[in-house]
Amino acid sequence: DGGITQSPKYLFRKEGQNVTLSCEQNLNHDAMYWYRQDPGQGLRLIYYSQIVNDFQKGDIAEGYSVSREKKESFPLTVTSAQKNPTAFYLCATDRDRTGELFFGEGSRLTVL
Amino acid sequence: QKEVEQNSGPLSVPEGAIASLNCTYSDRGSQSFFWYRQYSGKSPELIMSIYSNGDKEDGRFTAQLNKASQYVSLLIRDSQPSDSATYLCAVNLLSNFGNEKLTFGTGTRLTIIP
């Protein structure tokens, strides 16, 4: 089955620790995105990549880092520099960069 | 000023009635508009996209676009309890760099009352 797999689904982290969220897709889509969602807020773009070995900052990239070494994979690292990392993180792909996004199931990060 | 605005709700609609969800956007040059449905605790899923003025129908869902008024809406006919969710409006806005950026509203929470 084609789709987007995010892991882990739930993650607890102590303050000061870096964590990496995985996003893998087998849809053969070029564009991949990371969004953050907080309660009562819309989706905010963290980073996006339109091609392997290239990525751009979104609206709230501070405290995050990404890599795009393979078309299928776009991991997100939440660093200790991110002041308020507790959130629901969503990975998405876009077949033709039209805005018709396919989302993974999300990763819920809680900082203790 | 918010770029994509939605009434956060909650919007309560009796089962079988028409639910009407509204969205306004700031960029007159926008060309692409989307409605995503998000169940509580789940990720969003695309339910409608619309690119031209007028109505687009898909089953019980109708998207309506009025570019002159910078307004897009989603109608859900014969509302079912399974339609209870948050509906996110998304618009491709022109960024400061001249490229398009998909921007989401904060969503409208819809509750269908049996």
Query: Are residues A98 and B101, on separate chains, in Cβ contact within 8 Å?
Result: no
Q: Please report, in angstroms and rounded to a whole number, the separation of the first and last CA atoms in chain A.
A: 36
pLDDT value of position A71? 96
Amino acid occupying residue B112: I
Is residue B90 less than 8 Å (CB to CB) from chain A? yes
The Cβ-side half-sphere exposure at A60, using a 13 Å CA radius, reads 20
With a cut of 90, say whether residue B93 has pLDDT above it.
Answer: no
Query: Are residues B106 and A42, on separate chains, in Cβ contact within 8 Å?
Result: yes
Confidence of residue B1 (pLDDT cuts 50, 70, 90): low
Residues of chain A above pLDDT 70, percent: 98
Partners of A101 on chain B (C-beta within 8 Å) are 36, 44, 46, 102
pLDDT value of position B96? 65
With a cut of 80, say whether residue B69 has pLDDT above it.
Answer: yes
Nearest to A42 among B34, B100, B105 (CB): B105
Q: Are strands B54-58 and B33-38 parallel, antiparallel or unpaired?
A: unpaired
pLDDT value of position B2? 59
Strand stretches in B26-67, DSSP E: 33-38, 45-50, 54-58, 61-66
Rounded to an integer, the average pLDDT of A95-110 is 91
The predicted-structure confidence for A48-82, as pLDDT tens digits, reads as follows 999 999 999 999 999 999 999 999 999 999 998 88
pLDDT value of position B98? 65
Contacts of B99 (CB under 8 A, 6+ apart): none
Name the residue among B25, B35, B19 with its Cα closest to residue B2: B25
The predicted-structure confidence for B8-61, as pLDDT tens digits, reads as follows 889 999 999 999 999 999 988 888 999 999 999 999 999 999 999 999 999 999
Confidence of residue B68 (pLDDT cuts 50, 70, 90): very high
